């Protein structure tokens, strides 16, 4: 962990690395203001000693700003940070930027800065969304896309867990399979599109294979790394308890590998969703991606933006759901 070159004073460096407790906040705040008075201690380290009687107000300010100098900028930052500190303020600040964008967007359409073919009015997008929800076409497209991504995701996760598990289980298998896997993963997913169109046409098969492929790669990597990096001590515990293979896998290896596997799953799902949208843009007659390319051809950008909103919402929900599942599977960590 030692990052020696960044620190000019060797004594301070050892102090900080070996005795971080010595740098309690109040001490260094006092140090910062009162100057540094090195005092040799018994174990050869230099201990800082605070000068007494500091100005309370100034100490408090340093607490807030953390590192670095103190200036007007800091004071403004602290003021804003304090205000942000309460929950409502944070929410408001987070919303302020989208709100600003929205106001500019609204103003642009109100004053006709940009033609509707370039930037449709927010009201038009809203109206389109409402119409498409009302006549059910939005749900049709979304459900088609969702089904496709779930099919590809299931395939890709199955294959990825299998290959990742195999490669982690046996060094020999890893040596045989990994090079080809790496070679395949170097090709951008979309690069397979022309080949697959020639081989399987532009129907569901194309979408399933491409989504599965884009899911497969991160899931394989995550599974392999997750299982390989299970701390050796965990395995030893299992051996001491004379666990069988299945029990070892279920009670020790899989739970310990959950974070890495889930990183793979999350990336996989997000990749799969990306890929599906791309393939639907290229070759499809239904689905959200197709709606976008349709809207683009008709120069009805409100269709495009409405579809984008739904795509973003679905991506958000996917990520959220996987995050919840991961937390659920990691309860044991909290208890430990």
Partner 1 sequence: MSTQAKTRLARPRLTRIWRAAALPLVLLAAWEASTRLGLVDPHQLPPLEDVVARGWSESRNGDFLTALAASLGRDLAGFAIGAAIGTASGLLLGFYRPAQSILGPTLRVHRQIALFAWVPLIAVWFGAGEPGKIAFIALAAFQPSLINTWRGVQEIPDRFHELAAVLTFSRLDFLRFVGIPAILPAIFTGLKAALIYAWQATIGAELFMTIAPGIGGVMMQGRQLFQMDLVLLTILLLGLVGAGFNTLAGLSETLLLRRRTS
Q: How far is the CB of 95 from partner 1 (least distance, A)?
A: 7
Provide the 3-class DSSP secondary structure of residue 39: strand
Q: In the chain, what is the straight-line distance between the N-terminal and C-terminal CA atoms, in Å?
A: 25
Q: Which of residues 256-285 bind partner 1 (CB under 8 A)?
A: 270, 273-275, 277-278, 281-282
Binding flag, residue 12, partner 1 (CB under 8 A): yes
Cβ nearer to partner 1, comparing 169 with 237 = 169
Binding flag, residue 103, partner 1 (CB under 8 A): no
Q: Which of residues 57-86 bind partner 1 (CB under 8 A)?
A: 62, 66-69, 77, 80-81, 84
| Per-residue interface string for the shown chain with partner 1, residues 216-255, x marking contact by CB under 8 A | ----------------------------------------
13-18 own/partner pairs: CB under 8 Å, 24+ apart: 14/45, 15/45, 15/46, 15/47, 15/48, 18/45
**274 touches 215 (CB < 8 A):** no
Choose which of 29, 50, 167, 261 interacts with partner 1 (CB under 8 A): 29
Task: Please count the residues of this chain forming the interface with partner 1, following the rule CB under 8 A.
Answer: 83
Binding flag, residue 289, partner 1 (CB under 8 A): yes
Stretch that binds partner 1, among 13-21, 38-46, 230-238, 240-248 (CB under 8 A): 13-21
Binding flag, residue 90, partner 1 (CB under 8 A): yes
**292 touches 243 (CB < 8 A):** no
Choose which of 195, 323, 324, 331 interacts with partner 1 (CB under 8 A): 195
Binding flag, residue 172, partner 1 (CB under 8 A): yes
Binding flag, residue 129, partner 1 (CB under 8 A): no
Choose which of 11, 38, 47, 48 interacts with partner 1 (CB under 8 A): 48
305, burial (CB in 10 Å: exposed 0-12, middle 13-18, buried 19+): buried
Provide the 3-class DSSP secondary structure of residue 118: coil
Q: Ramachandran region of residue 287, left (φ > 0), alpha (ψ -120 to 50) or beta?
A: left
Q: How far apart, in whole angstroms, are the C-alpha atoms of residue 251 and residue 238?
A: 9
Stretch that binds partner 1, among 26-34, 159-167, 226-234, 257-265 (CB under 8 A): 26-34
Cβ nearer to partner 1, comparing 34 with 158 = 34
**309 closest CA partner among 98, 68, 135:** 98
Cβ nearer to partner 1, comparing 143 with 247 = 143
Q: Which residue has the tokens 């989504």?
A: 211
Kindly write down the DSSP assignment for every residue of 266-293, as one continuous string: HHHHHHHHHHHHHHHHHS-SSSHHHHHH
């Amino acid at each position: 962990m030692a990052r020696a070159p960044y620190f000019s004073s060797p004594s301070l460096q050892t102090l900080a690395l070996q005795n971080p407790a010595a740098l309690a906040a109040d001490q260094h705040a006092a140090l910062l203001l009162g100057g540094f008075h090195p005092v040799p201690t018994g174990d050869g380290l230099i201990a800082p000693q605070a000068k007494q009687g500091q100005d309370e107000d100034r100490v408090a300010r340093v607490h807030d700003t953390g590192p670095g100098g103190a200036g007007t900028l800091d004071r403004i930052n602290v003021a804003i940070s304090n205000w942000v500190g309460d929950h409502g303020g944070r929410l408001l600040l987070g919303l302020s930027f989208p709100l600003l964008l929205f106001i500019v967007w609204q103003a642009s359409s109100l004053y006709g800065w940009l033609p509707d073919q370039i930037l449709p009015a927010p009201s038009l997008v809203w109206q389109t969304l409402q119409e498409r929800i009302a006549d059910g076409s939005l749900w049709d497209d979304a459900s088609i896309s969702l089904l496709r991504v779930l099919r590809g995701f299931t395939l890709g996760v199955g294959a990825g867990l299998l290959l990742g598990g195999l490669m982690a289980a046996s060094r020999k298998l890893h040596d045989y399979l990994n090079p080809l896997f790496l070679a395949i993963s170097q090709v951008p997913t979309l690069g397979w599109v022309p080949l697959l169109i020639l081989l399987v046409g532009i129907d569901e098969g194309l979408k399933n294979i491409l989504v599965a492929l884009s899911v497969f790669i991160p899931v394989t990597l995550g599974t392999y790394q997750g299982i390989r990096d299970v701390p050796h001590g965990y395995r030893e515990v299992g051996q001491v308890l004379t666990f069988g293979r299945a029990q070892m896998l279920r009670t020790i290896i899989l739970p310990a590998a959950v974070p890495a596997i889930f990183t793979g799953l999350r990336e996989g799902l997000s990749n799969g969703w990306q890929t599906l949208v791309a393939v639907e843009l290229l070759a499809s007659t239904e689905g959200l991606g197709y709606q976008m390319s349709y809207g683009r051809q008709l120069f009805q950008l409100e269709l495009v933006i409405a579809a984008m909103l739904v795509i973003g919402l679905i991506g958000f929900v996917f990520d959220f759901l996987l995050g919840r599942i991961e937390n659920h599977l990691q309860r044991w960590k909290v208890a430990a």
